[in-house]
Amino acid sequence: MDKAATSFYKNIGIVTLNNPETKNSIDIYLLENLTRSIKKLETNEQADLIWLRSGIKDVFSSGYDIGYFDKKNEAECRYFAKAGAELVETIKGCKKIIICTVDGAALGGGFEIVLSCDLIFATERSQFGFPEVNYGVLPGFGGTQLLSRKIYETFTKYLIFTGNTVPASELSDKGIINKITKSQSSNEEEAYAMADIIKHRSKFALGLAKETVNNGLNMPLKQALLYEQNAFMASFASNDKKEGMTAFKEKRTPDFTDRWEDFETL
């Protein structure tokens, strides 16, 4: 069974975590499967954006597969951590927008995957946390860094130090979750509505904006502002800019053709 199945719906590339026996627990096979799926969709012209979801009711991912770890030596565990970091970097660096929907638990490595996505939708009953400290370890591929870059470090430390879970409402209040819904069906409806909006925008401008935001977080403000200026000028010289301006004047929907994946990064 494919633990990360890929499908398409109206130019949306969908990656579905689907390992009900372990509630989508994270092992090396799932990590590598997810990374391959994202990379393939990034270069697939049929996918205007990517949607990451769970095919299991009540859970996105239960976190690291403890049984898997218990049988591995140090070298194998390091390989696992590197594979997790590669997945996070693949999602963050993907030139397409990645939406994630969560219904239920997103713990440990599952929470790290969620945090690496661009837009997050969750149901009211969803719970998030880093329980690793309960097992004598810490988040292994981004948990200590991803959350603190989205919000202040004290909340990151609270989650990691206690191993507690928090409801979706608390993450929404802190600006980490974009939208909370009552049910899984309404959650996916909201995500699709957002995807439908995004897929009609300039792919070039979207990818450039994503890269500018992500890379700017690692720069001093002065350097980040210069980076943004260069990105703005790159968008200003694009065919999509010309089409967008012309469509605005002609009061019609623009037909964007530039794709960010066809261009080199700044």
pLDDT means per 10 residues in the chain (266 residues)?
Answer: 85 93 91 95 93 94 82 86 94 95 96 96 96 89 85 89 96 94 93 92 92 92 94 91 93 85 58
pLDDT score at 67: 76
* Start-end of CATH 3.90.226.10 domains in the chain: 4-198
Per DSSP, the three-state class of 261 is helix
CB contact set of 240 (below 8 Å; sequence gap of 6+):
202, 203, 204, 205, 254, 256, 257, 258
CATH number of 4-198: 3.90.226.10
Alpha carbon distance 250, 14 (integer Å): 34
Q: Which pairs count as long-range contacts for 237-245, CB under 8 Å and 24+ apart, including other chains? A: 238/202, 238/204, 238/205, 240/202, 240/203, 240/204, 240/205, 244/202
pLDDT score at 4: 87
Alpha carbon distance 195, 130 (integer Å): 28
Topology of the domain comprising 203-262: Lyase 2-enoyl-coa Hydratase; Chain  A, domain 2 (1.10.12)
pLDDT score at 181: 96
The values of phi and psi at residue 4, to 5°, are -140, 85
Question: What is the model's pTM?
Answer: 0.91
* Start-end of CATH 1.10.12.10 domains in the chain: 203-262
CB-CB contact of 123 with 59 (8 Å)? no
Looking up tokens 């069906």, which residue turns up? 185
The values of phi and psi at residue 51, to 5°, are -125, 120
The residues annotated with a catalytic role in the active site are 112, 132
pLDDT score at 73: 86
